[in-house]
Chains A and B, each alone.
Chain A
Amino acid sequence: MPALRDWGMPALVTLPMSRTIIPFGPQHPVLPEPVHLDLVVEDEKVIEARPSIGFVHRGLEKLVEKKDYVEFVYIAERICGICSFIPGPTYCQAIEALMNIPVPPRAHYLRTVWGELSRIHSHLLWLGLMADAVGFESLFMHSWRVREKVLNIIEATTGGRVIFGSCKIGGVRRDIGADAIRQMLADLKKIEQDTRDITRVFLDDSSVKDRLCGVGVLSRQDAYELGCVGPMLRASGVAQDMRQLGYAAFKDLDFEPITRTEGDSYARCAARCQEIFQSIDLIRQALGKIPDGEIAVKVTGNPNGEFMARTEQPRGEVAYCIKANGTKNLQRFRVRTPTFANLPAMLKLLPGCDLADVPVLVLTIDPCISCTER
C-alpha cells in the first residue's frame, strides 16, 4: 500500500499518543464563569494547564472618564455580580478619604451589615456550586434555598436583590428601622440553623470528603509567595483578613480571621463554611451596637489626589486605586480583584491532578472572572 506521503499528504504529526489537549470552558456545566483552560493530559493526569481569559471584558475602568464620580458608584457596584455590595463602599471609601468627608457612624455600621450579608450570600452560592461540582445536585438546591432567605433580607432592607444600590458617597441611601432590625435578627437565626444543617453535610459526609480531602494541597509557603488572598490564603494557614484594618465598623467589632492548616480543597470549603457563621456573628454584633443618627452627609466639591482603598470581599482582598484631578470625572481608576490574585495558585494546583478533579480545583478558588476582567 502506498504511503500517505506518496499522495502528497504531510506526514502524521508525531505527538506522543498518550498526550491529549482537552479544552475546558469557557462554557462548561460546572463553571459559572467564562475562563478557558487548555488542559494537557496524559492518560487521566493533567500535565499542564494553559489559561486564557478575556471573554467578558466590559471596559468599566475606562468609564470613569464618561461618568462623574458620584454616578460611578453604580458602575463600581456592577464590577462583580456576586459580591456586588462591597465594591460600592470600597470606592466610596476612597473618594471619602480624598475629600475628607466625615461619614456618619450609623452609615459605617449599615455598610458593615450589608457587606457581611453579601458575604453570607456569596459563600452560600459558592457552597451550592461546589456541591454541584462534586455531583451533589440536591445539596446544591439546599444551599441555594438558604441563600434565597438571605436575598430576601437584602431585598427588604436595600431594595435590590443582587445589586444593592444602597451605598453612596458620604453615607448610605437607606436606613434600617428598629422593626426591620428585629425581623433581620429573627431571620438570621433561621438562616444559621439551616446553614448548620447543610454545612454538616459538607464537612462530615463521607462522599463529599472523598472528593475534597487531600485534593489540591497548597502549602503555606506557596500560598504566601503566589500572593493568594481571602479564604484561599487563610485555608493554608496565613491569618490575613483585610477587615482587621478596621474600615467601616470593623474597628469596633470583635473577630479573629478563620484559618485552617491543611491547605487542601476541604480546608478551603471548611474555611468558607465557618466564615458564614462568623459573618452572622458580626452582623449580630453590629446590630447590637449600631448608633443612632444621620445616615449620610451632603457632598460638595470634587476629589483631588490619589488613594488606594483595600477591603475584604468574599473572595479576598480587593484594592481600588483612584486618581482624581479636581474635576468631576476621575482621571484613572484601577481595581485589583481577588480572583486575579488567586489565579496563579490555581494554575499551580492543576498540574498533577486527575482530570475529574479539575472542576473542583477551579471552583475552590471561587473564581469570579467577570470582575477580574471588568
Chain B
Amino acid sequence: MAYFQMSRLALKWVFAKPVTSRYPFEPRQAIAGSRGRLVFTRDTCVYCTVCAKKCPTGALVVNRAQKRWTIDRLLCITCGYCVEACPKESLELTTDHGSPTVTKDREFC
C-alpha cells in the first residue's frame, strides 16, 4: 500500500496556474464547431415553413401569409435540424451560447 499518492498529485498542482477561469471578467472562449444559438437572417428567408415542419420540438412557427418567423427559445434544443433543412440558408447556429431568455413568449423576427 502506498502513502501520500494524493499529496504528490496535490503538490504537482500547487504551483500550476488555476484551471478554471474568472468567468464574468474573462469571457468564455467559444469552441469552434459548437452548436450554440440559432440565428435567423430575415433578408434571404422565403417563408417556406420547411424549418417549422422539420423542427422536432415545435419551437419554430412560420406564417407564410404574414411573413413572420417565430421561435420559442425555451423549446429549441439547438439540434440544427432546421439549419440542414432550410433551402435558402437563412438559419445558422453560432458557437456562442447567447444570452439567457428573459421571456416565455415567442420571439418574433
Contacts and interface: CB of A to CB of B under 8 A. Distances in A.
Interface of A: 67, 71, 74, 136, 138-139, 142, 145, 148, 152, 155-160, 163, 165, 173, 197-198, 200-201, 204-207, 209
Interface string B29-63: 00111110000000000000000000010000000
Contacts of B19: 145, 148
Given A142-B13, A160-B78, A165-B79, 14 more contacts: A74-B56, A138-B6, A155-B34, A156-B33, A156-B34, A159-B33, A159-B93, A160-B34, A160-B35, A165-B35, A201-B6, A201-B9, A205-B2, A206-B2
B1 A159 contact: no
Nearest to A153: B31
A209 B5 CA distance: 12
B32 to A, nearest CB: 6
Given A152-B31, A201-B9, A74 B3 contact: no
B53 to A, nearest CB: 11
B5 A204 contact: yes
A294 to B, nearest CB: 16
Given A74-B56, A74-B77, A201 B33 contact: no
Contacts of A152: 31
Nearest to B30: A155
B34 A159 contact: yes
Q: Which of B1, B5, B12, B13 has the most chain A CB within a 10 Å cutoff? A: B5
Contacts of B5: 200-201, 204-205
A127 to B, nearest CB: 13
Nearest to A161: B34
B102 interface: no
Contacts of A205: 2-3, 5-6
Given A155-B34, A159-B34, A206-B1, A139 B6 contact: yes
Contacts of B77: 74, 163, 165
B27 to A, nearest CB: 16
Q: Which of B12, B31, B32 has the most chain A CB within a 10 Å cutoff? A: B31
Interface string B1-28: 1110110011011000001000000000
Contacts of A148: 19
B3 A206 contact: yes
A209 B1 contact: yes
A144 B15 CA distance: 19
Contacts of A139: 6, 9
Interface string B69-109: 00000000111100010000000010000000000000000
Given A74-B79, A204-B1, A205-B2, A155 B31 contact: yes
B20 to A, nearest CB: 9
12 contacts: A74-B56, A138-B10, A139-B9, A142-B9, A148-B19, A155-B33, A157-B33, A159-B93, A160-B34, A165-B80, A201-B9, A209-B1
Nearest to B56: A71
B17 to A, nearest CB: 12
A163 B34 CA distance: 12
Nearest to A139: B6
A156 B32 contact: yes
Contacts of B2: 204-206
Contacts of A200: 5, 9
B31 A156 contact: yes
B82 to A, nearest CB: 12
Contacts of B78: 160
Contacts of B13: 142
B36 to A, nearest CB: 9
A129 to B, nearest CB: 17
B108 to A, nearest CB: 25
Nearest 9 A/B pairs, CB to CB: A159-B35, A205-B5, A71-B56, A204-B2, A206-B1, A201-B5, A155-B31, A156-B33, A201-B6
B86 to A, nearest CB: 15
A25 B56 CA distance: 35
Nearest to A207: B6
Contacts of A197: 9, 12
A225 to B, nearest CB: 33
Contacts of A156: 31-34
Contacts of B9: 139, 142, 197-198, 200-201
Q: Which of B1, B6, B13, B31 has the most chain A CB within a 10 Å cutoff? A: B6
